[in-house]
Amino acid sequence: MKWIALTMGDPAGIGPEILLKLYDRHFLYERARPVVIGDSSVLEFYKNLHLYKDVSIRSFTEWEEVEKSVFSTQNSKEILVWDRHMVDIRDMRPGQVDAQCGKAAYQYIEDAIELALKGKVVANVTGPICKQSLHKAGYSYPGHTEIYAEKTGTTHYMMALFCKDLKVAHLTCHMALKDIFSYITVPGIQWACRLLHKTMQGLGIKNPRIGVCALNPHSSEKGRFGTEEEDVIIPALNELRKEKISVFGPVSADSIFARAKYGAFDIILALYHDQGHIAVKTLHFKKTEEFFAFSGVNVTLGLPIVRTSVDHGTAFDIVGKNKASEQSLYEAYKLALEMAPEDRA
């Protein structure tokens, strides 16, 4: 069976809680051996707080101990933890920005990346982190994506959101809107579409249909509202078609997502963060009895390793209230299994 690493996320956020719910409500051991990288004391804290009596926690201090551990697939509610001992539970402040928790969250990510690069695990599934806590601990990254890019030596990468009936990748992501224009180039669009073509083929779609967003309203109406479509996007797509890549566009952003939802495209290339995120989150945020559940998954494309993630934050306002949903984490775990290479045990 394959090992998959799940990072706990920020200890003061909802990451530990949704991990407990994940193991309590879902069977994870059928095709993989999941292991949590985090602090077992934090998980025990939230377990006792919410009385997850059926969930057990088994911790290991060395990775070699994890690999040698014996477990039964029947005991699906046992959480194996590579315990990093980063958090003093007496000083932890749930629901608050905390340098200690930011440092811990970063260490969990760094360990998971190292395991993946060494081939010890076939995928990383990451819990939510707090950027403010990360920065307070001395790490100035905008988010997970940039950490993964730097630690894997990746210069060209892309964030994507995968949901049941809508998949959206982003040409640019965490930057000011005024800065995106220098990244909307013919080579950039071509690289992105080639990566999406390869990614979707890896998920079993032989000839994926890629819808490409226009930048300007109404796809600029032939230059009336801008020239990026005529000058950049259309030439890029024409060249891609010569490579037998099925690209469509540029399609006006006010209609492309609805068309994709009803089957016109297998994946969409959005040109900037909110262009893609607003559509996906509007469609897949749903009110539940507990709170708000988002079933989408954040995927980093272009890395030498598989990395999926929840697509929500630490939700400090509901920490400890047993309202957070594990659905996005569960979907991220399933997608990691699907994307993981088959030739590693």
Q: What is the pLDDT of residues 97-107, one digit of tens each?
A: 999 999 999 99
- Per-residue pLDDT at 345: 45
Q: CATH homologous superfamily for 2-155+303-339?
A: Isopropylmalate Dehydrogenase (3.40.718.10)
Q: Is 164 or 260 the better-scoring residue by pLDDT? A: 260
pLDDT, one tens digit per residue, over 234-290 is: 999 999 999 999 999 999 999 999 999 999 999 999 999 999 999 988 887 765 555
Residues present in the chain in total: 345
Angle at 159 between CA 279 and CA 290, to 5 degrees: 55
12 pLDDT tier (thresholds 50, 70, 90): very high
293 pLDDT tier (thresholds 50, 70, 90): low
Domain residue spans of the chain: 2-155+303-339, 164-280
Same fold? 2-155+303-339, 164-280: yes
- Per-residue pLDDT at 222: 81
pLDDT, one tens digit per residue, over 55-90 is: 999 999 999 999 988 765 556 789 999 999 999 999
C-alpha closest to that of 30 among 80, 68, 75, 79: 75
State the average pLDDT over residues 173-199. Answer: 95
Q: How do 123-126 and 167-170 pair as beta strands?
A: unpaired
pLDDT, one tens digit per residue, over 206-229 is: 999 999 999 999 988 888 888 999
- Per-residue pLDDT at 165: 85
* Cβ contact 16:319 at 8 Å: no
Statement: 164-280 belongs to CATH 3.40.718.10: yes
